[in-house]
């Protein structure tokens, strides 16, 4: 009898894991596009309430786990032209390079540095990477209402092959449209960072958050990213996502 119960429990948990993974997969499938472009405005609200604003232009080619992206700062003047090139890989952490126009130099940003903040914002370099569904183990942790919408609560743990600053994360995905609404990153049981996906809009058939709000609980600061001029499946060439292009366009 006991053995039967154990088998049933195991079967239930495997089922829950499979269900969680399939939810994440479906969420990912629904947002899969050939490419993306937007203009972002970042507001970093420090613990003392001081606000620093930066703007960038973002372009991505490919999707989820095998994409390439370029992020180019456009304001303020002192950082204008600084660019970040990200090559995401499905089987390992992404490669990132930064271009500094004043020096005419690119620099590689190493894997070890990805837990550090992304240039004074509350994002870490890792938060800017795209998550590949295969790099995490998932477990359905229940259902909760977030921002008035009923959502699945899914726990994700990085696989051993995946280096991550978070020992686990919680993801909330809306049940009605499979859109991400919230993510929390934990380190050893301590909440480090929360990302909220706000102002959801249907853009070219894809539910997209037009406002991302990140809170860093270690610093007690907040960053808001507003997404403007968003386009999906724009025509982009792979040559635009190389170091040569990064140098050329500065």
Partner 1 sequence: MRLARLIGWPYARKHVLRTCLTVAGIALGVAVFVAMHAANRAVLGGFERTVDRIAGAAQLQVTAGGFGFPEEVLERVQAVPEVRVAVPVIEAVVDTGLAGQGSLLILGVDMTGDRSLRQYDLESGEEAIIDDPLVFLAQPDSLIVTREFAERNRLEVGHRIPLMTMEGPKQFVVRGIMRPGGFGKAFGGNLAVMDIYAAQKMLGRGRRFDRIDVAVREGVPVERCQAALRAALGPGFEVEPPEARGAHFESMLRGYTFTVNISSLFALFIGMFIIYNSFQIAVTERRVEIGILRALGATQGQIRGLFLVESALLGATGAGLGVILGGAMAQLSAAYIGGLLEDVYGVAQHVEGAELGAPLIASSAALGVLASVLAAWIPSRAAARVDPVQALQKGKYQVLSVGENRARRRAAAASLAAALICLAAGRSAEAFYAGYLLAVLTAILLAPTLSLWLSKLLRPLLRWLRPVEGTLAADSLIHAPRRTSATVAALMLSLAMVIGFAGMAGAIYDSVTQWMDQVLNPDLFVNASGSISRRNFTFPASLAHEIERMEGVDQVQAVRHARVIFGGVPVSVVAADVEKLASKVRRIVIQGDLDEMYRLTAQGRGVIVSDNFADLRGVRLGDTIALPSPSGLVRLPVVGITRDYTDQQGSVLVDRSVYRRWWQEDSADVLRIYLKPGYSPERVRQRILEQFAARQRLFVLDNAEVRREILRLTDQWFGMTYNQIAVAVLVAVLGIVNTLTVSITDRRRELGVLQSVGGLRQQVRHTVWMEAVGIGLIGLVLGLALGAVNLYYTVEMVHRVAGLRIDYQYPWGVAALLVPGMLLVALASALWPAEKAVRGRLVEALEYE
Q: How far apart are CA 201 and CA 137, in angstroms?
A: 29
Nearer to partner 1, 81 or 158 (CB): 81
Nearer to partner 1, 16 or 45 (CB): 45
Binding site for partner 1 (CB under 8 A): 44, 46, 50, 52, 54, 73, 78-79, 81-82, 98, 100-103, 105, 107-113, 116, 119-120
Nearer to partner 1, 116 or 233 (CB): 116
Nearer to partner 1, 31 or 165 (CB): 165
Closest CA to 65 of 122, 137, 136, 171: 136
Q: Is the dihedral of CA 84, 191, 200, 210 positive or negative?
A: negative
Least Å distance, CB 138 to partner 1, is 26
71 in Cβ contact with 247 (< 8 Å): no
Least Å distance, CB 103 to partner 1, is 5
Q: Which residues pair with 139 in a beta bridge?
A: 155
Least Å distance, CB 195 to partner 1, is 19
Which residue has tokens 């909220």?
196
φ, ψ dihedrals at 245, nearest 5°: -65, -40
Nearer to partner 1, 30 or 107 (CB): 107
> What Rg do the C-alpha atoms of the chain give, in angstroms?
19
Give the contacts of 215 (CB within 8 A, at least 6 positions apart). 122, 193, 194, 196, 221, 222
Least Å distance, CB 184 to partner 1, is 23
Least Å distance, CB 155 to partner 1, is 24
């Amino acid at each position: 009898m006991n053995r039967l119960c154990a088998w049933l429990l195991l079967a239930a948990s495997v089922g829950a894991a499979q269900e969680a993974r399939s939810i994440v997969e479906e969420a990912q499938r629904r947002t899969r596009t050939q490419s993306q472009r937007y203009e972002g405005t970042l507001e970093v609200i420090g613990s003392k309430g001081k606000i620093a604003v930066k703007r960038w232009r973002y372009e991505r080619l490919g999707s989820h786990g095998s994409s390439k992206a370029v992020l180019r700062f456009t304001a303020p003047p002192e950082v204008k032209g600084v660019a970040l090139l990200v090559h995401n890989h499905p089987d390992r952490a992404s490669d990132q390079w930064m271009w500094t126009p004043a020096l005419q130099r690119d620099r590689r940003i190493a894997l070890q540095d990805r837990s550090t903040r992304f240039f004074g914002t509350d994002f870490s370099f890792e938060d800017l990477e795209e998550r590949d569904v295969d790099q995490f183990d998932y477990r359905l942790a229940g259902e909760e209402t977030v921002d008035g919408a009923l959502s699945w609560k899914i726990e994700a743990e990085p696989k051993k092959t995946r280096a991550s600053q978070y020992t686990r994360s919680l993801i909330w995905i809306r049940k009605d449209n499979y859109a991400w609404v919230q993510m929390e990153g934990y380190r050893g049981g301590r909440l480090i960072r929360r990302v909220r996906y706000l102002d959801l809009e249907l853009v070219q058939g894809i539910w997209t958050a037009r406002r991302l709000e990140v809170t860093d609980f270690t610093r007690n600061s907040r960053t808001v990213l507003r997404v403007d001029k968003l386009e999906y499946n724009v025509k982009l060439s792979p040559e635009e996502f190389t170091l040569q292009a990064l140098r050329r366009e500065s």
